[in-house]
Amino acid sequence: MFETVALEGVLAIGLSLSIPIVAILMVFISSMKKKKHDTELRLALIQAGTDADTAKILIEEPHDKHEKYGPLRMGCFFAGAALGAVCNGLFGVSSDDIYFWMAIAGGVGVGLIIAFVIEYKLSKKEQEGQKEGL
Nearby residues of 109 by Cβ (< 8 Å), 6 or more positions away: 80
Amino acid symbol at 4: T
Helices (H), the chain: 4-47, 52-59, 70-91, 98-133
Q: What's the confidence (pLDDT) of residue 2? A: 55
pTM of the model: 0.52
Q: What is the pLDDT of residues 57-95, one digit of tens each?
A: 878 877 666 578 888 889 999 999 999 889 888 888 888
